[in-house]
Amino acid sequence: MKPPAACAGEVLDVASPCPMVNYLRWDLSAQQIEELTRELMEKTKRVYDQVGAQEFEDVSYESTLKALADVEVSYTVQRNILDFPQHVSPSKEIRTASTEADRKLSEFDVEMSMRQDVYQRIVWLQEKVEKDTLRPEATRYLERLIKLSRRNGLHLPEETQQKIKNIKKKLSLLCIDFNKNLNEDTTFLPFTREELGGLPEDFLNSLEKTEDDKLKVTLKYPHYFPLLKKCYVPETRRKVEEAFNCRCKAENCAILKELVALRAQKSSLLGFSTHADYVLEMNMAKTSQVVATFLDELAQKLKPLGEQERAAILELKKAECERRGLPYDARINAWDMRYYMNQVEEMRYSVDQNLLKEYFPMQVVTQGLLAIYQELLGLTFDREEGATVWHKDVTLYTVRDSASGQVIGKFYLDLYPREGKYGHAACFGLQPGCLRPDGSRQISIAAMVANFTKPTPDAPALLQHDEVETYFHEFGHVMHQLCSQAEFAMFSGTHVERDFVEAPSQMLENWVWEREPLLRMSRHYRTGDAVPPGLLDKLIQSRQANTGLFNLRQIVLAKVDQALHTQTGADPAEEYARLCQEILGVPATPGTNMPATFGHLAGGYDAQYYGYLWSEVYSTDMFHTRFKQEGVLNSKVGMDYRSCILRPGGSQDASAMLKCFLGREPRQDAFLLSKGLLVEGSEPPAC
């Protein structure tokens, strides 16, 4: 049982009901973080001690289940105040203190989750309580606490419990180190302007210079992806791709091997044959065999498409080598893939990404995106002027239900890269939307953290179309956090099955491929013109570009993850290289170790990376069955979506939510059609 979730801002006491309150604070010094961490653990432990000391006759809903739920509310918020700054604070001292707090709190979480005395009282409560006297969500909470306790081995002998506890502590610390290594990586490569041929002027002008006047290319996303897509100098791409997939190689390779071995050991102690089976028990897929079948069948269907795409890429490469007088090696290297996939888009679909991004200035995209979400989900967003934030680039918005005017939550946007900041794009739930101890509703607060291209003195931040897609996706998670109306913090927001959690935001990615929404979030940054109709049509058609290779790569990553968590002693780098060759037909660069840079393996997606593809089955079904049929900006469908899919949070099973929204059981047809595959009895997708 993880310590219950909380309202932020206090290890200070919370007394009065203040439903609209943002309890979060970002002004703590490193010393305060340390002191408040200790205070939070002491305060939370007292509640666990009280629950665990009860006699059988004293155990009741109020003294046991509600006590644990209430402390979960205060603990979660307070924990986020202390451990979120490690990802975003501009101060290295604060980031270090926050990481240290996360270490201590992770150990504490393990201690509290292994409380045999508390488990015993929950079991007693289940024996005593009349089932129908509890609200459905309270029953689900009780059953979930017992299930989680058994998954921690609290029904096993004490000696086994101790082993599990020790392993869990080690695992949490290793995961923190793995991701800290990646976040703090400051590697850069110096290049001349000639070596960066093909990259646009605005990109080159944004790069810092070395003392000998070379340009610094870091391995952060806004440098790495544009370079791999646009630089026509193969040697430059090779150096950058190799460096990117060698980040933290030595230290993270060692951590990963230890993580995998410890996970297998823990799962075995709990009676599971593999770590994957242990993890998947709580997911929609249920077993590793079901996942293996899903991935194998999809790979088989996509392979012919992948072969066609590889052949087209080789033709492009051969022609380019002849044109530029470069040696042609008749193979696709890892550093060629994004470059030629981009050329396919530009040549086959005539989509010039450099031209296109001029129509996606950050401010216009943000305004359009926020307007679409407001209209679709019946919400109103207001920017808070002068809000207290952790960095000057960050903005805070208040979200109201349009019909009632009631505040339902707030969200922070932190969109640009900076040193030491979390390197990907993600949504962090900071204050869970749930009931407080006095029965009032606590508003939900989330942060969207991303690393989009920064503005330069000559131009605003201009987004690549795939960055616009990422923006829509992550903001979908923010809406899930804010629109959920669960009673318990454990079921708030995105606390759904891990292989469903991506579906709500994946579904919303579809809007960046539809004409009307695209026109609403784009405008040329200099002239104010709309995207020309021809370019817009080509962009929409290009969605099918490279779909075989892109999805086969997702299958490679999902299979690496499954292999590490189902086999004994699999070598991550070897496994990745084998699967790249076998499934993708593109070899991994010798000497690299991509899994050592794969944050998901230490970020809560262990044995669950398949979930991105799995949940896409549901996201495409939802989109094509309702929105595509009834109108992509149809607010009635949007409200059905908010009420059936977002509102419950994790208080219902995903399968029940899907049935509510679709009016039937989900099907795979729309998913397969979206990948350019034919389904029996269906028309090919219209391009």
Dihedral Cα 303, 305, 306, 308, nearest 10 deg: 130
- Token look-up 């091997």 returns 257
Residue 204's contacts (CB-CB under 8 Å, 6 or more residues apart) are 193, 196, 215
Q: Cα–Cα distance between 177 and 179 in angstroms, integer? A: 6
Token digits of residue 310 = 């590889």
Residues in the chain: 687
Please say whether the beta carbons of 313 and 336 come within 8 A. Answer: yes
Greatest C-alpha distance within the chain: 86
Catalytic residue (one of 474, 487, 497, 575): 474
- At residue 109, what are phi and psi to the nearest 5 degrees? -55, -45
- Alpha-helix residue ranges (DSSP H) falling in 132-157: 136-151
Q: Which amino acid is at 469?
A: E
**319 to 90, 309, 313, 343: CA distances (angstroms):** 47, 16, 10, 12
Please say whether the beta carbons of 182 and 247 come within 8 A. Answer: yes
Q: Which amino acid is at 208?
A: E
Please say whether the beta carbons of 484 and 492 come within 8 A. Answer: yes
First CA to last CA distance, the chain: 49
- Alpha-helix residue ranges (DSSP H) falling in 186-274: 201-206, 221-230, 234-244, 249-269
Token digits of residue 314 = 């080789």
Whether 111 is catalytic is no
Active site residues per annotation: 474
